[in-house]
Structure 1
């Protein structure tokens, strides 16, 4: 029986090649999209699964209130470690202080690398569950040691045994390699940790870190913890909530509240708003999951529509089979078998599409997804996926076709009925509603990205290069390097800064000024700069003046941005004296000498933060900022700069970043989402058009004789085209009017997450509607015009 079902199914598929190709092609595209999205979702949902104790690992976060606005983040003060170890040690298996992940120069003999990693406490290898390849797990017990990832070890030492070798860090400290661990996989939070150096060494070599031991106001560090067995994370969070506020009166006014942020939420649910967790990348996981489900559903709708549309051609087959004793259940199994065969072929085609496109998808999505050939879970899901899709696509046609009455069919009195096409119309409307909604959503996402991209950044980022200076070699050489770079003709300006141009690395509070409101809780972005900073960046001074090297008093001067003027409530900011309100160690008073235009250093989708640019009198520079010579090519400028750099720092690899490229990275996540959405939208439209093409072809075939009669009676090609096209156009127009309000509601809600956002305009929706109608016209016209131009003699000829 099964063999007969398969044989009949195969014959029907082979007999109607055009419809078979459309069905398999549409389903294959839908299944390929669903498979790729499924692999992407699995990669997102398994982020940090490398860490066996993921559910018990957390990072200590704190929320602080500034003028009724609550800010939340992972920056914590160093005294917190002592407080937790002394009073709450029983709650934790491991407690690890850490710096932020940053790059340093690592040198062995003649090989020098610039790699990312952390200074962490001794328990870090255990907390991170590192897989030790060489050396020992307890490799951080000595202050002057270092543990390296396998890739960095290979790059530094090649085939040499790294254990016991001495590496110079930042061309300053000698440390011994005590362990090599397997690289942490790409889809994990510590994937960039290529080295780990003992925390004690970091403290010993930085005076400001030593001085922060009892300073609760210096939130410059990170703390990771692993809970003790059988300890509840929420309860521990509640226990430590007020530790900082209780132990430090000076910061109590900001109402600091500590909590444990679990590792399982770091990647997908890492957004906070006014002290509340508000999701994160998980919204994109659900978004693409919904897109994948809808694209697959569109492909299944094509199968349903084409199968039921051809019902009259199979009615006699059903009638004969029923008259010789076939039960309805047997017919249902037969039609589901045909559906299964189509889905199986489509799945095989989908696998080929996925394999061919996976590398390109990885590059686009910034992933390293590998096809899970050896995963039994994957293949089990695929089998379930095939069966589900076969039932979903074939259930309605099977039930519909098997319901025909044999007497009516064989007597020739069977008719599909006045409303037999209604389900098909509903499905077409649904298809194009989804497609139009996808079009509108994609356009708005790209509009939002372009809106932020076209926002004035406040400085000239073109031709601006920043060079990191994380080494003792750079100390005291700023003026020499400026002179050499400017004399080389490769640069026309140079300044130093303590933060990169495109980011804020430090925030400060605890200052007073005349007119400061009582109870005002200030929070400023803080960057220490050399006097040439504004002129190098072409940062416009709108009030007062820029720094001057010729004025000694400028060493206590500051520039503030326009947002800071409003934030501080200053009417005449120039000349305002800023005093440090630190009771224990107040710094010298500073004076505002100028106001500069707002400069975007954080997210271009958010409001500019109030910022101070302070004269760098302590030589805290982390970057050289160079303005390239516009009269020479970029490559020529960089070659000269590299030569000058190597002449002065032969032991340090030449590293640089273009500021415009670094700024462009701020749009990367949204651009990836927009691009992927655009691709999936195009595929959804293509699948919908395939179904429409098949239905138009069928309708034209069904009405062949009618078209012939109309042509004989004088109907023009346009008359016939209009007759075949108008019904489909009506359905698409109905789809547009359903899709527009749904899209407006969803996308307007999405835009509310961005303080700086595009305004939804009517033309976006009109453009999507016009586009959908044009695509429909093009799809339908091919078959309609072909039918209209057919010779009526052939159409009316009887057998």
Structure 2
């Protein structure tokens, strides 16, 4: 019986090749979109699950009341790990202190590579369950050891065994390779970590940490812990919340520090905090794209249902004869479900081909390295469930509707589908375009928000600025290097700084000034720099003056930004005193706000001061606009190698670093655009099929109208007006829904657009134009047909 159902279903597909192609193609595209989104959602939901201790690993974080608002940060004092082990050791299996990620130069003989790495305490490889290829997880116990990822080991040593071989790190120290671990997968927090070094070595390389006073008042490292068995994360967070306050003096504790644990299961999806409350994170995009995937697949299923029921008159006699010769309704339902599942199966095969072809492009846009797990039982089990559900959804309505025809009316020729038979189809078409219009509106708003932030004044001249690593040899010969580069015409100016222009690497509290509220704790981005920083970046001095070599007193001077001047409450800040770090500084200048952090949030009150080159890690140069960039970089590298014994120049364009701030939003915008285009494509396939059916159904009517004098325009309006009405209804439904959800998305940005009516008008126009293009082909084709052919049977 099943074989017979399939055979009949196959014959019906071949009999109506155009209809079948529309159904299979539309379903395949919808299934491909759903599968791509499903793979992306799975990647997000399985983030960090590579680590076997996923459910018990947490990160130590802190809330603090700064500038009248609760801020949340990952940075901790370097003493945090030892304190937790000493006082709360029974709550943890492992406590690990770690550094931030940083690029390092690795040299072996004459070969050099730059790799991203972190410093960890010895228990880190065991806690994060690294998969060792060579060596053991205990490889970080020696302060002068290093562990390499498999790709790094291959890049440096080829096929040779790297264990116990020596490499030079940052031309500073020789380290022995003690382990090689399998590269961490893309969907982990530590995916880019290619080398791991001992925490003790970090302390050796940063002796200033031991001299911090108070040591608990500075935050410079990360802390990770693994909970002991049967220990509740909330209870431990409650117990350790005052661990920092207990070690701070009364004045230093004014920020009301609260230490808490953030589970690994929330690092990726729930990473955002606002005023001390977790407000979500990537989880909103998981929900968003998950819903889009369901909608797009639903659109494809709607096409199947619409076209199947639209062809009801052609299948009516078949159903009538089947019932007359004894077929039960259940058998007819099974027949139509067989056709549905055959279409879905063929669509799924085409879907796999589309996904395999589109996955590289999708990965590039989504910033992922997703692969189809061809050998995974989970993948194929999910695929079978996917086929069954899609077949059931797309085939249920046609099967129930077509099997309900009464054979007597059908065979007597008195069967009519009824004036309300098209209502469900119209509802489904309206639903299709409602989703499509919502996606169009969403894509436009995301694009506008990104452009709004990109057009925001940054406070400095980005063009021609390049960030360079401040190598130790350059620090020793800074003035000579600067002078030589200017003499060669390679640069206009050069400056050193503690933080690059596009980031804040250091912020500080402990500021005091006349009129300050004694209960107010502050935290200002604080950047140490050389005299020429302002000139190099071309910031604008609003009041007072910039740092100058002509004034020896500038070593005790501050330049502040406009936000700081407002926050301090000075009508005229020039000449006012600020106490910081046991010293008194005089404000000599106020500059415009420089956007160093997120372009979507306000610029924080910031302080700039002169500092020693030893505490600076960044150089910024202003290239000479009279020469080509390649020529200038070549000249800079020649001078660089002269002073650094041949080390290659490492540089990043400030423009590129600024653009990187928009990656997450641009990625969401591109994905929304692609999904919107595919949703519209699927809707258009359905609309094209429906227009074709309507034109075919009204062939004789069109012929009579043409004989009576109707022109092409009259016939076009006759066939198109119904679809225009449906699309307009879709626009009216989509507008308030899209506005509501987009307002909720925008509210997380302090610097944001207001959604204007033009967005909804543009979306409606786009939808109507698409409808015109889709329907017009069939309408004009019908209008141009010879009426003699359509009427000769009458």
> In 2, distance between residues paired with 1:714 and 1:177?
90
Per-residue CA deviation, residues 87-125 of structure 1 (Å, 9 max, x unaligned), is: 100111111111111122222221222221111111111
Where do residues 140-539 of structure 1 align in structure 2 (5 Å cutoff)? 140-212=140-212, 215-250=215-250, 251-469=252-470, 471-539=471-539
Deviation at 1:619, TM superposition (A): 3.4
Question: Which range moves more in the overlay, 263-272 or 1-10?
Answer: 1-10
3-state SS in 2 of match to 1:720: helix
> In 2, distance between residues paired with 1:211 and 1:507?
18
Alignment partner, residue 768 of structure 2? 773
Per-residue CA deviation, residues 149-169 of structure 1 (Å, 9 max, x unaligned), is: 222222223333322222222
Question: Which range moves more in the overlay, 774-783 or 150-159?
Answer: 150-159
Alignment partner, residue 124 of structure 1? 124
Deviation at 1:618, TM superposition (A): 5.4
Deviation at 1:651, TM superposition (A): 4.6
> In 2, distance between residues paired with 1:769 and 1:290?
22
> In 1, distance between residues paired with 2:602 and 2:67?
16
Alignment partner, residue 584 of structure 2? 589
- Of 677, 698, 705, which residue of structure 1 is paired with 2:700? 705
Question: Which range moves more in the overlay, 719-728 or 247-256?
Answer: 247-256
Where do residues 724-743 of structure 1 align in structure 2 (5 Å cutoff)? 724-743=719-738
Where do residues 6-155 of structure 1 align in structure 2 (5 Å cutoff)? 6-155=6-155
Verify the 8 A CA contact 1:430 1:735 in the aligned structure 2: yes
Alignment partner, residue 791 of structure 1? 786
Question: Which range moves more in the overlay, 144-153 or 266-275?
Answer: 144-153
3-state SS in 2 of match to 1:284: helix
Question: Which range moves more in the overlay, 445-454 or 153-162?
Answer: 153-162
Verify the 8 A CA contact 2:68 2:521 in the aligned structure 1: no
Deviation at 1:338, TM superposition (A): 0.3
Verify the 8 A CA contact 1:457 1:600 in the aligned structure 2: yes
> In 2, distance between residues paired with 1:345 and 1:135?
50
Verify the 8 A CA contact 2:640 2:646 in the aligned structure 1: no
Alignment partner, residue 641 of structure 1? 636
Verify the 8 A CA contact 1:132 1:179 in the aligned structure 2: yes
Verify the 8 A CA contact 2:474 2:481 in the aligned structure 1: no
Deviation at 1:718, TM superposition (A): 0.8
Alignment partner, residue 626 of structure 1? 621
3-state SS in 2 of match to 1:627: strand
> In 2, distance between residues paired with 1:740 and 1:782?
28
- Of 673, 677, 681, which residue of structure 2 is paired with 1:678? 673
Alignment partner, residue 652 of structure 1? 647
Indicate the RMSD between aligned Cα atoms, in angstroms. Answer: 1.3
Per-residue CA deviation, residues 227-251 of structure 1 (Å, 9 max, x unaligned), is: 1122121211111112222332333
Verify the 8 A CA contact 1:269 1:278 in the aligned structure 2: yes
Verify the 8 A CA contact 1:81 1:97 in the aligned structure 2: yes
Give unpaired runs (5+ residues) of structure 1.
581-585
Verify the 8 A CA contact 1:318 1:401 in the aligned structure 2: yes
Verify the 8 A CA contact 1:91 1:231 in the aligned structure 2: yes
3-state SS in 2 of match to 1:777: helix
Verify the 8 A CA contact 1:339 1:390 in the aligned structure 2: yes
> In 2, distance between residues paired with 1:169 and 1:505?
22
> In 2, distance between residues paired with 1:204 and 1:588?
28
3-state SS in 2 of match to 1:513: coil
Question: Which range moves more in the overlay, 507-516 or 759-768?
Answer: 507-516
Deviation at 1:203, TM superposition (A): 1.4
> In 2, distance between residues paired with 1:578 and 1:764?
48
3-state SS in 1 of match to 2:65: strand
Per-residue CA deviation, residues 263-307 of structure 1 (Å, 9 max, x unaligned), is: 111111100111111110111111111111000000000010010
Question: Which range moves more in the overlay, 213-222 or 730-739?
Answer: 213-222
Verify the 8 A CA contact 2:164 2:176 in the aligned structure 1: yes
Per-residue CA deviation, residues 585-635 of structure 1 (Å, 9 max, x unaligned), is: x43221111111111111101111111111113532211101111111111
3-state SS in 2 of match to 1:88: helix
Q: Relative to 1, partners in 2 of residues 1:84 and 1:773: Cα closer, same or farther, differing over 3 Å?
A: same
3-state SS in 1 of match to 2:790: helix
> In 2, distance between residues paired with 1:41 and 1:213?
46
Deviation at 1:650, TM superposition (A): 3.2
Verify the 8 A CA contact 1:171 1:473 in the aligned structure 2: no
Per-residue CA deviation, residues 130-174 of structure 1 (Å, 9 max, x unaligned), is: 122222321111122222222222222333332222222222222
> In 1, distance between residues paired with 2:613 and 2:621?
21
3-state SS in 2 of match to 1:71: strand
3-state SS in 2 of match to 1:413: coil
Alignment partner, residue 745 of structure 1? 740
3-state SS in 2 of match to 1:253: helix
- Aligned residue-pair number: 793
Verify the 8 A CA contact 1:37 1:288 in the aligned structure 2: yes
Alignment partner, residue 564 of structure 2? 564
3-state SS in 2 of match to 1:326: coil
Deviation at 1:483, TM superposition (A): 1.3
Give unpaired runs (5+ residues) of structure 2.
none
> In 2, distance between residues paired with 1:220 and 1:205?
14
Alignment partner, residue 583 of structure 1? none
> In 1, distance between residues paired with 2:175 and 2:390?
59
Verify the 8 A CA contact 1:114 1:653 in the aligned structure 2: no
**How does the TM-score come out when normalised to structure 2?**
0.98
3-state SS in 2 of match to 1:515: coil
> In 1, distance between residues paired with 2:390 and 2:700?
37
Question: Which range moves more in the overlay, 33-42 or 132-141?
Answer: 132-141
Question: Which range moves more in the overlay, 97-106 or 493-502?
Answer: 97-106
> In 2, distance between residues paired with 1:358 and 1:235?
44
> In 1, distance between residues paired with 2:206 and 2:669?
44
Verify the 8 A CA contact 1:578 1:590 in the aligned structure 2: yes
Per-residue CA deviation, residues 57-79 of structure 1 (Å, 9 max, x unaligned), is: 11100101124411111111123
Verify the 8 A CA contact 1:78 1:213 in the aligned structure 2: no
Verify the 8 A CA contact 2:120 2:197 in the aligned structure 1: yes
Question: Which range moves more in the overlay, 610-619 or 181-190?
Answer: 610-619
> In 1, distance between residues paired with 2:665 and 2:259?
31
Verify the 8 A CA contact 1:79 1:214 in the aligned structure 2: no
> In 1, distance between residues paired with 2:156 and 2:180?
12
Question: Which range moves more in the overlay, 639-648 or 765-774?
Answer: 639-648
Verify the 8 A CA contact 1:93 1:228 in the aligned structure 2: yes
> In 2, distance between residues paired with 1:618 and 1:443?
47
Q: Relative to 1, partners in 2 of residues 1:462 and 1:648: Cα closer, same or farther, differing over 3 Å?
A: same
3-state SS in 2 of match to 1:278: strand
> In 1, distance between residues paired with 2:456 and 2:205?
42
> In 1, distance between residues paired with 2:637 and 2:185?
33
